[in-house]
Structure 1
């Protein structure tokens, strides 16, 4: 009961006009910077840290929360409109959202991404506030066996969304695993496959790989195959139809329930629940033929 009272008090403080203004400023700045490929929420917060030197502590924390959520959502904009994920967790958004943009439905894609992010983020924040002590106790019990099972689940999830070609999918999976092995091992301190190149000691950032695979390919495609009318995924109305709402709301709820437990796990990451949610929706959807097609 005390937790609920404190949570209600926190909401009361957050919805004051001055704090809402700082939240708006944070969301605007975070979204503006988050649309830049390769700049994630953590780097965005670090760059804007000096802005809080003259801001009251509570307002500063609220602004940083807005910056973080804005940067998280900002990556979906370039993913949908330009097929360029801002970070690894928006790769699925690029896979399907960009196809919607090519079919003239960029507006609904951006709308469902924004509303889904807000709904899931709000629910997850409330759940975290209520179950944080229990979550901390569970997280401390994780050991090598549990992390191995998480990695096994990750590979199983990826194998479920390999696409039409199993050979190409498995080849890409093991190629990515090989690239991920490059760098210094966090436990033993031994370097692997770095070929004595100091720049490879820290490994190869997945954001660099994602931006390189998606952005470079998209740029070359548009350079060699320009659209006749010169248009480039024109932004349609952001209003969602009744059918869009009916299909999106259950997906938002399922995505929240899948992503929240992974957020509690140390080093759980956003990639596993993202692909797991995608595989779940693909399995449960009544329109399986729309996945991976321009008509989605």
Structure 2
């Protein structure tokens, strides 16, 4: 059976852990019935999760491929299916299939380069897989900077991991910001694009952006102001994906299918697409 056909066949997944990240984001740990992982993946790829009788949707795989114990998905409550998922408890079963999509070029273009990860809100979730992959193979990459912002401290996804692990690693600099002042927060206050401009990064690095479309737009503009070329910057576009294999046409944009040609795109490739997103 071909790989693409195998990815169409759902398997039963068991939710083996549920972590509350923010008031509207939970992270679900998923294993197979025998305690393994449903499939192998690469950083930036997605999987389809479904609840029979409710629906299915595509979600980023937020655990690193180097984690062979389980798959994790950080899911924001924002609709019917996600509301059902947020009611799931330890031991319950779901259907899962994948992986789908074109991953980040972690084993080619990123190797030997300094990396600048920029995330807003739930946009950290797709980048967490890439960041932890690069942490695992630390000697393959140069210096790593992570800029992450959210509405408030309470909305920062994976905050304990950031503070207890990322902050403490040599060669990794984490820059956190929240939109508005908050009691108990003594860190930076301001929007992500403004903070990136303030940090004034040099341009000898690869940029990786994920977040709300408006944040990506303004952050890319700031990076260009600083002297970055679009060929140096990657982003991930996960809107509209439905079937995962380019058959339903829902994610078609110009001559591309986000599910097959993306969700990872280099930013100069976006200039070739019609302005539909």
Q: Return the structure number with greater helix share.
A: 1
Structure with greater strand share of residues: 2
TM-score, L = length of structure 1: 0.27
What TM-score do the two structures reach when normalised by structure 2?
A: 0.29
